[in-house]
Structure 1
Amino acid sequence: MQDQKNSEVLVQAADEPPPSNERKLEGWQKLLLAVLCIGYATFHLMVLNVFPIETWSFRIMHIAGALAIGYLLVAAWTTDGLDGNGTWIRPIEYPPLLIALGLGGYSFFCVVYAFVAADEMMPDPWIFGTSGWPLVLSTVVAIGAGWLFKPRDHRIGWYDWILAINSLSVAGYLLFNLAALQFRAGVMPIPSDMLFSIAGVLLILELTRRVAGMALLVIAGLFIVYTFAGPYLPGILNHDGYRMDRFFSYIYTDSGILGPTTAVSSTYIILFIAFGAFLQISKVGDYFVNFAFAIAGRARGGPAKVAVFASGLMGMINGTSAGNVVATGSLTIPLMKRVGYRPQSAGAIEAAASTGGQIMPPVMGAGAFIMAEITGIPYTELIVAALIPACLYFMSVFFMVDFEAAKMGMRGMRQDELPVLSKLMKQIYLFLPIIILIGALYMGYSVIRAGTLGLVSALVVSWLSPNKMGPIGVLRALEATTKMSIQLIAVCACAGIIVGVIGLTGVGLRFSSLLLDIADKSQLIALFFAMVISIVLGMGMPTTAAYAVAASVVAPGLIQLGIPPLVAHFFVFYYAVISAITPPVALAAYAGGAIAGADPMKTSVTAFKLGLAAFIVPYMFFYSHGLLMEGEWHVILRNAATATVGVYMLSGAVMNWFHGRLPMLMRVVLFIAALMLISGGFITDIVGIVMGAVLFFWQKTRKPSEKAPLKADAEA
Structure 2
Amino acid sequence: MTSQAPQEATTADSGNEFEIRDKDNIAAGVDAEVVVSNQRVFTGKLGLIFAAACIIYTAFHVGVMNLYPLETWVYRLIHVAGGLALGFIFFSARAFPAESGGRQSATPLEWILLLPAAVLIFTALGQIIFAIVTGDLVRTGAPKEKMLMTFGYPIIAGTALALLASWTSPTRNRGRVALPDVLLAIAAITVGVYIIAHAEFLRIRAQVFPHINDMYASIAGILLILELTRRLAGLALVIIVAVFIAYGFVGPWLPGVLEHRGYAPQRFFAFLYTDNGVLGPTTAISSTYIILFITFAAFLQASRVGEYFVNFAFAAAGGTRGGPAKVAVFSSALMGTINGTSAGNVVSTGSLTIPLMKRVGYKPQTSASIEAAASSGGQILPPIMGAGAFIMAEITGIAYADIVIAAIIPAALYFLSVYFMVDKEALKKGMRGLPREELPEFAKLARQAFLFIPIFTLIGALFLGYSVIRAGTLAMAAAAVVSWFTPFRMGPKQILYAFEIAARMSLQLVAVCAAAGVIVGVIALTGIGTRFSSMLLGLAGQSQLVALFFAMCVSIILGMGMPTTAAYAVAASVIAPGLIQLGIEPLTAHFFIFYYAVMSAITPPVALAAYAGAAIAQSDPMKTSVESFKVGLAAFVVPFMFFYSAPLLMQGEWHQNLHAFVTAAFGIYLLASGIQGWFFGVVGSALRIVLIVAALAMIAGGLMSDIIGLSVAALVFLIQRKFVTPKNVARGLD
Instruction: Pick one of 268, 273, 287 that aligns with 2:308.
Output: 287
What is the aligned partner in structure 1 of residue 237 from structure 2?
216
| Counterpart Cα distance in 2 of 1:103 and 1:3 | 57
Q: 1:178 offset after TM fit, Å? A: 1.2
Q: Give the SS at the match of 1:481.
A: helix
Which amino acid in the other structure matches residue 425 of structure 2?
E
1:116 and 2:133 aligned = yes
Cα deviation digits, residues 594-624 of structure 1 (max 9, x gap): 1111100111111101111221111111111
Q: Which amino acid aligns with 1:199?
A: A
Give the 3-state SS of the residue equivalent to 1:678 in structure 2: coil
Matched AA of 1:138? G
Deviation (angstroms), 1:121: 8.7
The corresponding residue for 2:59 is 42
Query: Where does 1:298-447 land on structure 2 (aligned, <5 Å)?
Result: 298-447=319-468
1:597 aligns with 2:618: yes
- Matches of 1:50 and 1:273 in 2, distance apart? 19
Q: What is residue 146 of structure 1 aligned with on the other side?
A: 166
Residue 702 of structure 1, CA deviation? 8.7
C-alpha distance in 2 between matches for 1:75 and 1:702: 67
Partner of 1:188: 209
CA distance in 2, matches of 1:477, 1:287: 18
Distance in 2, Cα, partners of 1:549 & 1:596: 33
Q: In 2, are the aligned partners of 1:344 and 1:603 still within 8 Å (CA)?
A: yes
Q: Does 1:29 find its partner at 2:46?
A: yes
CA contact (8 A) 1:3 1:416 kept: no
Aligned partner of 2:190 in structure 1 is 169
Instruction: Return 518-527 or 347-356, whichever deviates more.
Output: 518-527
CA positional deviation for 1:503: 1.1
Any runs of at least 4 consecutive aligned residues in structure 1 with deviations exceeding 4 A, and if so which?
A: 119-129
The one-letter code sitting in structure 1 at the alignment partner of 2:152 is G
Which residue number corresponds to residue 29 of structure 2? 12
Query: Of the candidates 147, 150, 153, which is equivalent to residue 130 of structure 1?
Result: 150
Residue pair 2:610, 2:621 contacting (<8 A) in 1 also: yes
The aligned counterpart of 1:581 is 602
2: CA distance, partners of 1:427 / 1:11: 16
Structure 1 residue 312 displacement after superposition: 0.7
- Distance in 1 (CA, whole Å) between partners of 2:356 and 2:288 is 38
Quote the Cα distance in structure 1 between the aligned partners of 2:690 and 2:422: 21
Q: Which amino acid aligns with 1:302?
A: G
Question: Residue deviations 1:329-350, cap 9 Å, x none?
Answer: 0110000000000000000000
Counterpart of 2:559 in structure 1 is 538
Rounded Cα–Cα distance in structure 2 between residues aligned with 1:4 and 1:328:
16
Q: Which moved more, 1:19-28 or 1:64-73?
A: 19-28
Q: Compute the displacement of 1:3 (Å).
A: 11
Q: How far off is 1:91 after superposition?
A: 2.7
Q: Which residue of 1 aligns with 2:3?
A: none
- Indicate the residue corresponding to 2:720 in structure 1: 699
Q: 1:562 aligned to 566, 572, 583, which one?
A: 583
> In terms of mean alpha carbon deviation, does 149-158 or 556-565 score higher?
149-158
Shift of 1:150: 2.9
Q: What is the match of residue 712 of structure 1?
A: none
Asked whether the 8 Å contact 1:555–1:569 carries over to 2, the reply is: yes
Q: Are positions 1:266 and 2:287 aligned together?
A: yes
Q: Retained in 2: the 8 A contact 1:11–1:289? A: no
> Residue 328 and residue 655 in structure 1: after superposition, are their counterparts in 2 closer, same or farther (change >3 A)?
same
| 2:138/2:146 contact within 8 Å kept | no
Match of 2:685 in 1: 664
Is 1:197 matched up with 2:214?
A: no
TM-score (norm 1): 0.96
Taking a change above 3 Å as real, the CA distance of residues 128 and 39 of structure 1, as seen in their structure-2 partners, is farther
Task: Report the 3-state secondary structure (helix = DSSP H, G, I; strand = E; otherwise coil) of the residue aligned with 2:98.
Answer: coil
- TM-superposed deviation, 1:544: 0.2
Q: Per the alignment, in what secondary structure is the counterpart of residue 253 of structure 1?
A: coil
Q: Distance in 2 between matches of 1:615 and 1:560?
A: 24
Q: Do the aligned partners of residues 207 and 273 (structure 1) sit closer, same or farther apart at CA in structure 2, a change above 3 Å counting?
A: same
1:88–1:152 CA contact under 8 A, matched in 2: no
Q: Is the 8 A contact 1:23 1:75 kept in 2?
A: yes
The separation in 1 between residues aligned to 2:35 and 2:148, in whole angstroms, is: 39
Once residues 291 and 8 of structure 1 are traced to their aligned partners in structure 2, the CA distance between those partners, rounded to angstroms, is: 10
Q: 1:678 offset after TM fit, Å?
A: 1.8
| In structure 1, C-alpha distance between the alignment counterparts of 2:32 and 2:259, rounded to whole Å | 47
Q: Is the 8 A contact 2:380 2:386 kept in 1?
A: yes
Give the match for residue 90 of structure 2: 73
- Provide the residue aligned with 2:253 in structure 1: 232
How big is each residue's C-alpha offset from its partner over 1:272-316, in whole Å with a ceiling of 9 and x where there is no partner?
Answer: 000001001101111010111111111100000000001111111
Q: Which residue of 1 aligns with 2:12?
A: none
Amino acid at match of 2:160: V
| 2:338 match: secondary structure | coil
CA shift at 1:128, angstroms?
A: 5.8
CA–CA separation in structure 2 for the residues paired with 1:654 and 1:169: 56
TM-score by length of structure 2 reads 0.94
Give the alignment of 1:599-678 within 5 angstroms: 599-678=620-699
Partner of 1:710: none
Matches within 5 A, 1:375-524: 375-520=396-541, 522-524=543-545
User: Which one-letter code corresponds to 1:65 in the other structure?
Assistant: G
| Letter of the 1:357 counterpart | G
Deviations 1:353-402 (A, max 9, x none): 00011100011000000000000000000010010010001000000000
Q: Is the 8 A contact 2:188 2:224 kept in 1?
A: yes
Residues 454 and 408 of structure 1: is their aligned pair in 2 closer, same or farther, counting only changes over 3 Å? same
Q: Aligned partners of 2:570, 2:274: CA distance in 1, in Å?
A: 17
CA distance in 2 between counterparts of 1:490 and 1:625 reads 35
Aligned 8 A contact 1:185 1:249 in 2: yes
> Could you say which residue in structure 2 is the equivalent of 1:207?
228
Q: Distance in 2 between matches of 1:43 and 1:516?
A: 45
Kindly indicate whether the alpha-carbon contact (under 8 Å) linking 1:60 and 1:171 is maintained by their aligned counterparts in 2: yes
Distance change >3 Å, CA 420–CA 702, structure 1 → 2: farther
Which one-letter code corresponds to 2:559 in the other structure?
Answer: G
Structure 2 residues not aligned, in runs of 5+: 1-18, 725-734
Shift of 1:471: 1.6
1: distance between equivalents of 2:118 and 2:29? 45
2:5 paired residue number:
none
Which is further off, 152-161 or 192-201?
152-161
Distance change in 2, residues 1:702/1:338 (3 Å): farther
Q: Please state how far the C-alpha of 1:12 moved relative to its aligned partner.
A: 3.1
Measure, in 2, the Cα distance between the counterparts of 1:702 and 1:430.
51
Aligned partners of 1:3 and 1:419 also within 8 Å:
no
After superposition, the C-alpha distances for 1:533-582 in whole angstroms (9 at most, x for unaligned) are 11101000000000000000111100000000000000100111100000
One-letter amino acid of the counterpart of residue 7, structure 1: D
Matched with 1:91 is 108
Q: Which structure 2 residues correspond to residues 239-258 of structure 1 after superposition, within 5 A?
A: 239-258=260-279
Contact 1:76–1:150 (CA under 8 A) maintained in structure 2: no
CA distance in 2, matches of 1:386, 1:82: 46
List per-residue Cα deviations over 1:635-686 (Å, max 9, x = no partner).
2221111100000010011111112111111111111111111221210100
Equivalent residue of 1:130, what SS? Answer: helix
**d(CA) in 1 for partners of 2:697, 2:311:** 38
Contact 2:113 2:164 (8 Å CA) reproduced? no
Most deviating of 119-128 and 534-543:
119-128
Aligned partners of 1:50 and 1:301: how far apart in 2? Answer: 50
Residue 9 of structure 2 aligns with which residue?
Answer: none
Give the fraction of aligned pairs with identical amino acids, expressed as a percent.
57
